[in-house]
């Protein structure tokens, strides 16, 4: 019997320990940008049982109460009881923050073009888009995000009884013949005195079946809900959390490559973040313009240098024109210097905490500049001119 063609992606909810850290990091960034749009922020968070440590480098004119930002983020997520692993009202919060390295600052501030800035570090970044979903995201990661997000909304409303903030999902898509959902796995933290049968029935009917139906699919072939039977000990008590430890969840669920750099807690001069957003912006506009069914963009940078070292395009054989023509159109229509990206994508505004859970891409619930398809017409015209040459 022939093997099935399967692909799996996972997501985690806002109450997952690593996502707690990401959200605190980006909440600090947003607070700095709200007062000083030119803040330089590299904020890292570690969390464990009833404790949060915030460290890193911040250079800003803003006045920040980082301890209160951390506490409020925990409370907003729903961590208001020590039984959940951490309580935002009473937990220990340690702040270990200093100013940015002068060597790094020199690399950002110095450029051959006085109107530009240099990249804050070397590195490679990837962006991806596919026509598989309306948001031009891979199906598996889109479904995985939708599942934990719906569960979190129901938890916060009080409708989802016994649920606690820590949750994970995993979706396996079967591409063997026609696209269908093979397996859905959900692990959801719950109260000690829960009714297991009622809990699992609720998850299946109101979360899994509802989300899968919304996307036009029938009930998955296999559903696994808390397969170990119990998930009481969770949150930072069950596992320590760190900023930047869920980078595949943040991007494309493994359907595309990742440069390796995390996003959260970094201001827009860090190309780990801004370069990845720009690469997604380029790839999404190419697919939205119907110039390819799938597109992956790679950008690379050197510290202190404005222009990208390289730009690479891969359409996986789905491109409607030669990739060299697409590359020329990209160079004509996208300023991929750090300053150009910051201006093009309006990155000096506070908007990052909301991206720190449920993905940075494909977010139809947020008006994120890198998710807009404002370059479609320009790309189509540039490609036509390039083909005619």
- The set of catalytic residues is 16, 18-19, 44, 57, 168, 231, 239-240, 245-246, 266, 270, 272
φ, ψ for residue 33, nearest 5 deg: -65, -30
Do 59 and 99 contact (CB within 8 A), yes or no? yes
Do 353 and 363 contact (CB within 8 A), yes or no? no
Do 33 and 348 contact (CB within 8 A), yes or no? yes
Tally of CB atoms within 10 A around 302: 16
Q: Which residues pair with 92 in a beta bridge?
A: 51
CA 299 to chain centre: 18
Give the tokens for residue 252.
Answer: 């494309």
In the block, which residue shows the tokens 């501030």? 109
Exposure b/e, 220-259, CB count within 10 A at least 16 = b: beebebbeeeebebbbbbbbebbbbbbbebbbbbbbbbbb
175 CB burial (10 A radius; 0-12, 13-18, 19+) = middle
Distances (CA, A) of 144 to 8, 77, 168, 181, 359: 9, 19, 9, 11, 10
In the block, which residue shows the tokens 């409020």? 72
């Amino acid at each position: 019997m022939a093997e099935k063609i399967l692909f799996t992606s996972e997501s985690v909810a806002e109450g997952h320990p690593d996502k707690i850290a990401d959200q605190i990091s980006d909440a600090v960034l947003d607070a700095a940008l709200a007062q000083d749009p030119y803040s330089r922020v590299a904020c890292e968070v570690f969390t464990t049982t009833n404790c949060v440590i915030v460290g890193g480098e911040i250079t800003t004119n803003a006045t920040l109460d980082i301890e209160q930002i951390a506490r409020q983020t925990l409370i907003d997520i729903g961590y208001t009881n020590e039984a959940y692993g951490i309580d935002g009202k009473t937990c220990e919060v340690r702040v270990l923050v200093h100013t940015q390295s002068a060597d790094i600052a020199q690399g950002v501030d110095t450029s051959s073009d006085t109107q530009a800035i240099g990249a804050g570090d070397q590195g490679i970044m990837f962006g991806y888009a596919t026509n598989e979903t309306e948001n031009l995201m891979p199906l598996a990661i889109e479904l995985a995000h939708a599942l934990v997000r719906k569960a979190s909304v129901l938890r916060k409303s009080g409708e989802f009884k016994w649920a606690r903030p820590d949750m994970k999902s995993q979706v396996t898509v079967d591409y063997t013949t026609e696209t269908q959902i093979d397996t859905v796995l959900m692990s959801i933290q719950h109260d000690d005195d829960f009714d297991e049968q009622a809990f699992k029935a609720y998850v299946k009917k109101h979360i899994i079946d509802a989300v899968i139906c919304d996307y036009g699919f029938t009930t998955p072939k296999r559903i696994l809900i808390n397969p170990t039977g119990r998930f009481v000990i969770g949150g930072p008590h069950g596992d320590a959390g760190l900023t930047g430890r869920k980078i595949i969840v943040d991007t494309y669920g493994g359907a595309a490559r990742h440069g390796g750099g995390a996003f959260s807690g970094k201001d827009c001069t860090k190309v780990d973040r801004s370069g990845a957003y720009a690469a997604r912006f380029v790839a999404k506009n190419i697919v939205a313009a119907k110039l390819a069914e799938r597109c992956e963009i790679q950008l690379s940078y050197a510290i202190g240098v404005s222009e990208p070292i390289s730009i690479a395009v891969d359409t996986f054989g789905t491109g409607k024109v030669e990739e060299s023509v697409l590359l020329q159109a990209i160079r004509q229509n996208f300023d991929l210097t750090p300053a150009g990206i910051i201006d093009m994508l309006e990155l000096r505004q506070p908007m990052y905490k909301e991206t720190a859970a449920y993905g940075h891409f494909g977010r139809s619930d947020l008006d994120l500049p890198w998710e807009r398809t404002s370059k479609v017409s320009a790309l189509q015209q540039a490609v036509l001119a390039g083909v005619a040459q």
